[in-house]
């Protein structure tokens, strides 16, 4: 159980670590110190719902279509390899920065924007429902719940850490060197996850 929980946390944290539109938005709001708690809670709860769907739904789909895990594992590995390559390319080229400007919007507008970043982003479904669901099939039904719990915990830790730690993290992310290191690290993690998925097919 502890192993499944740890793998779930590491998998969820690694997938969510990439600085995309949603994470950059949370970071920006954290810099402005506006609606941080509500925003972090919304993003983490959305992830939790999608992760639960992936972990629970994958078992039902697998029962009806036994080859589905292998197909999703291959598709997930392909995505992770490509995404990792893109992060390595970004690290090689450099030049990435993050700036937060302007005034924070209202709570309603903030959550509406977060909803768009979360629920209208196809990569969110691939990460939470697809990839996490695929990795969860490597565990027994009992351990699968622990794996999902670890992934959910990673989302809460990440979003609240990003939102409330923004004022310390932002100066580092304004430097090109920090972004290159971050992108290289994300690329390495993505390729390691891809290798794990491929190895599980044997």
pTM above 0.75, yes or no: no
The alpha-helical segments, DSSP class H, found in the chain are 2-16, 21-32, 36-64, 68-93, 107-119, 122-125, 132-136, 141-164, 166-173, 176-199
- Domains of the chain by residue range: 2-199
From the list 66, 72, 70, the residue with the least C-alpha distance to 131 is 72
Burial annotation 161-175 (CB, 10 A radius, 16+ → b, else e): ebbeebeebbeebee
* pLDDT tens sequence for the chain (202 residues): 668 889 889 888 888 876 666 887 888 788 778 899 999 999 999 999 989 988 887 667 667 777 777 777 787 788 778 878 988 988 888 765 555 455 557 899 999 988 888 887 667 777 787 788 888 877 887 888 899 999 999 999 999 999 999 888 777 767 778 778 878 887 887 788 788 778 877 6
Say if CB 186 and CB 17 are below 8 A apart: yes
**Taking a C-beta distance cutoff of 8 angstroms, is the pair 105, 173 a contact?**
no
């Amino acid at each position: 159980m502890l192993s499944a929980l740890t793998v779930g946390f590491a998998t969820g944290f690694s997938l969510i670590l990439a600085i995309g539109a949603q994470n950059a938005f949370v970071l920006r709001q954290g810099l402005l110190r506006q609606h941080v708690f509500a925003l972090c809670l919304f993003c983490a709860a959305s992830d939790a719902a999608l992760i639960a769907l992936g972990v629970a739904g994958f078992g039902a789909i697998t029962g009806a279509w036994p080859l589905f895990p292998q197909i999703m594992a291959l598709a997930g590995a392909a995505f992770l390899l490509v995404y990792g390559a893109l992060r390595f390319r970004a690290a090689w080229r450099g030049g990435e920065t993050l700036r937060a400007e302007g005034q924070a919007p209202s709570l309603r507008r903030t959550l509406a924007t977060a909803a768009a970043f979360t629920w209208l982003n196809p990569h969110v479904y691939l990460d939470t429902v697809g990839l996490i669901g695929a990795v969860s099939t490597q565990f027994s039904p009992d351990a699968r719940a622990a794996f999902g719990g670890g992934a959910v915990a990673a989302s809460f830790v990440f979003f609240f850490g990003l939102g409330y730690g923004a004022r310390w993290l932002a100066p580092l992310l304004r430097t090109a060197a920090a972004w290159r290191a971050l992108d290289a690290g994300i690329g390495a993690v993505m390729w390691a996850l891809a290798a794990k998925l491929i190895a599980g097919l044997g």
